Amino acid sequence: MKSPSVLDNSERTLLVGVGLKRPAKRSEGSTPAAARESLAELDELARSVGARVVGTRLQMRDSLDPATLIGRGALSELEHEAERLDAGLVIFDRNLSPSQYRNLERGIGCRVVDRTQLILDIFARHAQSREGQLQVELAQLNYLLPRLAGSSRELSRLGGGIGTRGPGEQKLETDRRRIRDRIRKIEQSIEVIRRQRALRRRARQGVPLGTVALVGYTNAGKSTLFNALTRAEVLTSSKMFATLDPTVRSLRLPSRRRVLLSDTVGFIRDLPPGLIAAFRATLEEVQEAAVILQITDVSNPLHAEQDAEVEKILAELGVADRTRLRVFNKIDLLGANELQLLSQSSDQTPRSPQDSREKALVSARTGAGLDVLIRSIDRVMPVDPMVERDWTVPLSSGRELAMIYACGRVINSELLDGHIRLQAQVPTSIAERLDLLCAQSSR
């Protein structure tokens, strides 16, 4: 029983942001500037699924009301504003508790959706693979389960009092049981798909190929950069969360090594933990990656705050200390002075593979800086590093010679009697194979 879409195309929608005037800590609320930015982001999220935004309202409070979030006075004002704008839907830029959801919907007199439910709806529209669709449905049902009692329009639960129990209570319990059964079946299906994917990954790891995962805030240009590096045709869109399903393509580095590039779902502030857990398909690629490319939309004036959200999610995934390259994208949108300042602050000197402070300035749209980025990936890739050695290989070993020329770089060569002496740079896996071959031929 997949949850229906919470938004209809061109539905008249009122957006409501709520922030704290003096938040004690970051997790408790938003400063006025951050609340305005978050509300603007909510506007973009709503429009990306076809909502017709007819108004926005930002409510700054000393504290959040546990019953209605915004207080009864503001609730009355919001009811009149929704009626004046003929809005059939109100979206809150907060995650609502079941009781808040129930009280707001009754007080305003129209449908209410919170930030999590809106993001779930976007995910449901964009998921293409079977696993992605199952993961979205699982997250939707887990979100719906504690809110069944408040969904009066859908379930028609009867109120308290003599003669009002029975059918309503039975309907509620029936819905809960159906949802729990469906959740159990989805989890079993996802586990089967996860095991199949793990087998494919182990087979892939039999060949020493490093994986490079692209991560970043949604709309940072990850898919455009992915296409530019691999000549793939992954969907690119200005809409948020256009990429949900994992896409992997190979990339040849200047050292002739091959690596696998993985495009991932974009991150966003206040991404619910349930969504992080649900989208293991893309996030497992991040956890398995040898190198992480952290993509930043440097043209966004609030990119530092967006990067902080990305850092927080990477820490939750346990990959904060993974080898990382910072990629500042969309430099074509910067002015000459801004680009000069950014270039001066970016240290392009080589560092150790574990150092994540190395930066690359690129434009995925124009291709500027991509050659520098590829060389940086080659330099920090810890999997199957390049080594330089001398070998004397029999001319009859055509396969090994072909591997040297295909996957390495020959510095010097000399023909001998039935052999060829080579000085070459090759990946460690090939060097070990050549060492074994030369040892056998010398016996």
Asked if residues 82 and 110 have their Cβ atoms less than 8 Å apart, the reply is: yes
With 60 as the cut, is the pLDDT of residue 164 above it? no
Decide: 331 and 298 in contact? Cβ < 8 Å: yes
Asked, for residue 39, whether it belongs to a domain, the answer is yes
Do the domain assignments include residue 224?
yes
pLDDT of residue 152: 46
How confident is the model over 424-441, as a mean pLDDT? 80
Give the domain CATH number at 296. 3.40.50.300
Indicate whether 353 and 399 sit together in one domain. no
Calculate mean pLDDT across residues 425-441: 80
Compute the distance between CA of residue 382 and CA of residue 380 in angstroms, rounded to an integer: 6
When divided into structural domains, the chain yields a total of 4
Distance CA 311, CA 59 (A): 28
Specify whether 249 is located in the same domain as 294.
yes
3-state DSSP call for residue 29?
Answer: coil
Which band of pLDDT confidence, cut at 50, 70 and 90, is reported for residue 238? Answer: very low
Same domain, 225 and 285: yes
pLDDT digits (tens, 9 = 90+) for 168-206: 456 778 888 898 999 999 889 888 887 887 777 666 655
CA 36 – CA 57 distance, rounded (Å): 10
SS3 assignment, position 103:
helix
Q: What's residue 124's pLDDT?
A: 78
Residues 148 and 295 both lie in one domain: no
| 363 vs 232, more confident | 363
What is residue 354's predicted lDDT score, i.e. its pLDDT?
Answer: 42
pTM for this model (two decimals)? 0.70
Q: Is the pLDDT of residue 302 over 90?
A: no
Any domain includes 128: no
364-376: average pLDDT: 92
Confidence of residue 36 (pLDDT cuts 50, 70, 90): confident
Q: Name the residue among 285, 314, 8, 276 with its Cα closest to residue 142.
A: 276
The average confidence (pLDDT) of the chain is 79
Q: Are residues 164 and 268 in the same domain?
A: no
Last residue of a domain, one of 196, 226, 243: 196
Are 369 and 331 in contact, with CB atoms under 8 Å apart?
Answer: yes
Residue in the block written with tokens 């690629």: 285
Q: Which of 76-85, 136-145, 202-211, 276-285 has the highest mean pLDDT?
A: 76-85
Same domain, 50 and 111: yes
Helices in 324-412 by DSSP H: which ranges?
336-345, 370-380, 398-407
In a domain, 286, yes or no: yes
Please report which confidence band the pLDDT of residue 154 belongs to, taking 50, 70 and 90 as the band edges: very low
Q: Looking at the structure, do residues 233 and 304 belong to the same domain, yes or no?
A: yes
Range of lowest pLDDT (157-171, 177-191, 204-218, 328-342): 157-171
Distance of CA 162 to the CA centre of its chain: 51
- Edge-first strand order for the sheet with 210-216 is 247-252, 258-263, 210-216, 291-297, 324-329, 359-361
Token pair in block for residue 109 = 């007199």
Q: 55 pLDDT exceeds 90?
A: yes
State which residues form the domain around 65.
Answer: 12-118
More reliable by pLDDT, 180 or 150: 180
Report whether pLDDT(108) > 70: yes
Q: Report d(CA 219, CA 28) in Å as an integer.
A: 26
Question: Quick one: average pLDDT of 76-91?
Answer: 93
Whether residue 328 sits in one domain with residue 246? yes
Residues 55 and 177 placed together within one structural domain of the fold: no
pLDDT in tens, 246-277: 678 888 888 888 888 888 777 777 666 666 66
Domain-located, residue 2? no
Supply the pLDDT for residue 165.
Answer: 42
Instruction: Looking at the structure, tell me whether residues 260 and 302 fall in a common domain.
Output: yes
Distance separating alpha carbons of residues 416 and 257, to the nearest angstrom: 28
Question: Comparing 435 with 366, which gets the higher pLDDT?
Answer: 366
Q: Assign 353 a pLDDT band (cuts: 50, 70, 90).
A: very low
Same domain? 293 vs 330: yes
Residue 14 confidence (pLDDT): 94
In a domain, 248, yes or no: yes
**Predicted confidence (pLDDT) at residue 351 exceeds the cutoff of 70:** no
User: Would you say residue 6 lies in a domain?
Assistant: no
Burial of 139 (0-12, 13-18, 19+ CB in 10 A): buried
Residue 300 placed within a domain: yes
User: What's 36's domain CATH number?
Assistant: 3.40.50.11060
Least reliable range by pLDDT among 132-141, 268-277, 286-295, 417-426: 268-277
Cα–Cα distance, 16 to 1 (Å, whole number): 30
Give me the mean pLDDT over the 415-441 stretch.
82
Whole-angstrom distance, CA of residue 292 vs CA of residue 319: 9
Statement to judge: residues 254 and 192 lie in one domain: no
Residue that finishes a domain, picked among 380, 401, 426 = 380
**Domain closes at, from 167, 196, 225:** 196
